[in-house]
Structure 1
């Protein structure tokens, strides 16, 4: 399925371009995503998706196949596989940036293929979910771009001999907060929840009927 989204950020196009390539900086704005490693071209990580009571984790890589700074165009190819299942996800994401009213308009075109449990929702629901997730990402990205960047303080002069000051204890590293999965039902909205609820209710009735028949024949 092909999806198209557009959003704006309140910074110049060159600043927006650098920010979008700073994967580690914008990773917290990506719903359900966790970045394990990034070498400037390849991103390794995972995405969690919640479908009702079931949470599906896709683990894989995303590679920047194109980074055209002069045209402000990037192409990202991502692929992943369920850690506990046979489902797969693959996407070719093409992003273009253009100046607009003092800010930057970001156009994202995604060619997405999903197998497994999330695929049951179809293109309409996935497009609706995509709209809301991109909106959340854009709001988070805009807030981060408006934050002042930290300045690196100049290095202090090195003493010729170590001082006799006591060594301070090393502070323990704070644990990383777990990534919240993308809740497809909550993100998609009430209409989808009603459709899924009907399907779940029907499935429950079938299971009850099967168990009753097995009990009678036992």
Structure 2
């Protein structure tokens, strides 16, 4: 599926461009993300996603296929796989920066493919999650850029606590969570009904065999 988001940050484009490419610096603005290695082109790391009581960890890489500084355009291709499952996630992210009212407008186009447990929620839920995540990321990035511009000191390096996983239902919000809960309840009811039907069928077959044996 394809997603499109836009946001602004309160610094000129020439400052926003290198900030977005500073992966270690912007990673804390992405819930559940951990950067393990970055060589200027390839990022290796993981993302944890919480789906109800289940936490899914994706490990993989993201490669900058394009970094056009003159056009302020970048293309990032990412892929990952569940560490304890068969689910996968692939995304091609194209970002474009432009001057806007003294700040920077960021346009992000994402071509996303997800399999496994998170995919069960469908495009609508994932789109709403994406909207909220981009909003959170934009606010976090703006705060960090403003702190640097004001001469504030950023948090010291060293050992950092592992970030909380991305909580899919909490991020989606109560309305989406209710829809997911109803869908889960319906699925559970259907599974229960099918189980009961199979048991009834087994009972019927056993009864027929017993009647046939007594004739």
TM-score normalised to the size of structure 2? 0.84
> Could you list the runs of 5+ residues in structure 1 that have no partner in the other structure?
152-172
Q: Give the drift of 1:191.
A: 2.3
Structure 2 CA distance for aligned equivalents of residues 110 and 212 of structure 1: 44
Q: Give the drift of 1:208.
A: 5.4
Say if 2:83 is the partner of 1:83.
yes
Structure 1 CA distance for aligned equivalents of residues 162 and 65 of structure 2: 30
- Compared CA separation, residues 123 and 207, structure 1 to 2 (3 A): closer
Q: Which residue of 2 aligns with 1:179?
A: 163
> Could you list the runs of 5+ residues in structure 2 that have no partner in the other structure?
204-215
Say if 2:179 is the partner of 1:195.
yes
Structure 1 CA distance for aligned equivalents of residues 137 and 125 of structure 2: 18
| Equivalent residues, number | 197
TM-score normalised to the size of structure 1? 0.83
Structure 2 CA distance for aligned equivalents of residues 207 and 114 of structure 1: 24
Q: Which residue of 1 aligns with 2:34?
A: 34
Instruction: Tell me if structure 1 keeps the 8 A contact 2:121–2:180.
Output: no
Helix, strand or coil at the partner of 2:58: strand
Q: Which residue of 2 aligns with 1:143?
A: 143
Helix, strand or coil at the partner of 1:28: helix
Structure 2 counterparts to residues 1-218 of structure 1, below 5 A: 1-148=1-148, 175-205=159-189, 210=195
Structure 2 CA distance for aligned equivalents of residues 108 and 194 of structure 1: 29
Q: Give the drift of 1:38.
A: 0.4
Q: Deviations over 1:170-200 (max 9, x none)?
A: xxx9653122111111111222222221233
Q: Give the drift of 1:205.
A: 3.9
Q: Deviations over 1:77-108 (max 9, x none)?
A: 00000000000000000000000000000000
Structure 1 CA distance for aligned equivalents of residues 121 and 189 of structure 2: 21
